[in-house]
């Protein structure tokens, strides 16, 4: 249960941070450039990590995945096609992509820190609580955590007061908690502990953000964090289990798996993530003196 709680804590923190930082990317880029940059940030690295997962699945799993399963995972549309998941982390990236689409649709409001965005948040709460489709309601539920990050982004940019940020963030978390506790039963209700702690950690980290001083190890871990995320699940499990089957105790087996996963993440970072990220930054780079033109074009694109 401890590792499940730790995993859900990480997922919640991931969504909160994404909600906080993604609007920053909207300040300088058009809708199309934003989406190009985000897709190049997500897909190549994920595809490399999932390829490792797929190879291990083909070797060690008794159930052969179908072509549709494999393609739907590479395209991150497994949830839309309702195929059986091969990778335990894919659903979080699918939520992330839906948030990107929302950001692109409402880019004008986000850039202007408009109070109209409250309409989007209220709509998301309504969908999460009352929409008849469990899948769509679940998507909306996880988006609530990302909107908490957006709220603190507004505060960071001095568009709302600290009291308002805490009130809105608390209301969104209570809506999330209501959705989760209604949806889940039994021991899984205890996962709300992890989600609550993640809120506290995020808020404290936000308040003390100027106190944190990065150093070499944290910079390096930050650099490989995404490839580590996409490759760790199946690869770590396979390495630990194979080592244990060969007589290695669980603790050293887990440590071995950790080392292997770190090395794999670093290789993906160097070979795939850095080049694709640099390509995305080159493609979406736009001169700042075209800001007015971009805003007009964005308004036309989203129909506002």
Mean pLDDT over each residue of the chain, to the nearest integer? 87
22's CB contacts (< 8 A; 6+ apart) are 38, 99, 100, 103, 146, 149
State the pLDDT confidence band at 82, using cuts at 50, 70 and 90. Answer: confident
Which helix (H) or strand (E) segment is 235 a member of?
helix 225-245
Distance CA 281, CA 100 (A): 16
Q: Is the pLDDT of residue 16 over 60?
A: yes
Distance CA 250, CA 237 (A): 11
What beta strand segments (E) does the chain contain?
A: none
User: Which region holds residue 303: left if phi is over 0, alpha if psi is between -120 and 50, else beta?
Assistant: left
Distance CA 301, CA 156 (A): 28
Rounded mean pLDDT, 253-278: 94
Cα torsion 154, 22, 129, 304: sign: positive
Q: Is the pLDDT of residue 285 over 70?
A: no
Q: Is the pLDDT of residue 249 over 60?
A: yes
Digit-coded pLDDT (tens) for 145-171: 999 999 999 999 999 999 999 999 999
First to last CA, the chain: 47
Which helix (H) or strand (E) segment is 119 a member of?
helix 117-130
Read off the tokens for 163. Answer: 């009291």
User: pLDDT at position 74, please?
Assistant: 94
Rounded to whole angstroms, what are the CA distances from 280 to 33, 107, 173, 226, 295?
Answer: 8, 19, 33, 16, 21
User: pLDDT at position 211, please?
Assistant: 83
User: pLDDT at position 287, please?
Assistant: 43
Phi, psi (deg, nearest 5) at residue 233? -60, -70
DSSP 3-state assignment of 126?
helix
Q: Is the pLDDT of residue 295 over 60?
A: no
User: pLDDT at position 284, please?
Assistant: 63
Digit-coded pLDDT (tens) for 123-148: 999 999 999 999 899 999 999 999 99
Using the 8-state DSSP alphabet, how is residue 289 labeled? G
């Amino acid at each position: 249960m401890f590792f499940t709680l730790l995993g859900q804590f990480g997922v919640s923190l991931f969504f909160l941070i994404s909600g906080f930082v993604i609007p920053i990317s909207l300040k300088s880029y058009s809708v199309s450039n934003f989406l190009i940059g985000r897709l190049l940030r997500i897909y190549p690295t994920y595809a490399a990590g999932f390829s490792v997962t797929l190879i291990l699945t083909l070797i060690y799993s008794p159930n052969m995945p179908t072509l549709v399963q494999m393609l739907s995972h590479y395209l991150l549309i497994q949830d839309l096609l309702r195929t059986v998941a091969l990778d335990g982390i894919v659903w979080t990236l699918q939520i992330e992509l839906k948030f990107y689409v929302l950001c692109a649709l409402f880019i004008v409001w986000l850039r202007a820190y408009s109070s109209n965005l409250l309409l989007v948040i209220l709509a998301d709460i309504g969908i999460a609580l009352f929409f008849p489709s469990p899948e769509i309601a679940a998507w909306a539920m996880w988006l609530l955590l990302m909107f908490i990050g957006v709220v603190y982004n507004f505060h960071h940019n001095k568009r709302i007061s600290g009291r308002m940020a805490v009130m809105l963030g608390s209301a969104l978390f209570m809506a999330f908690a209501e959705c989760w506790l209604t949806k889940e039963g039994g021991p899984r209700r205890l996962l709300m502990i992890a989600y609550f702690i993640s809120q506290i950690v995020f808020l404290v980290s936000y308040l003390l953000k100027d106190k944190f001083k990065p150093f070499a190890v944290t910079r390096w871990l930050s650099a490989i964090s995404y490839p580590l995320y996409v490759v760790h699940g199946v690869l770590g499990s396979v390495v630990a289990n194979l080592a244990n089957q060969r007589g290695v105790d669980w603790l050293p087996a887990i440590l071995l798996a950790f080392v292997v996963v770190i090395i794999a993440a670093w290789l993906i970072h160097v070979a795939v993530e850095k080049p694709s990220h640099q390509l995305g930054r080159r493609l979406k780079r736009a001169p700042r003196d075209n800001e007015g033109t971009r805003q007009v074009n964005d308004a036309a694109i989203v129909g506002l």
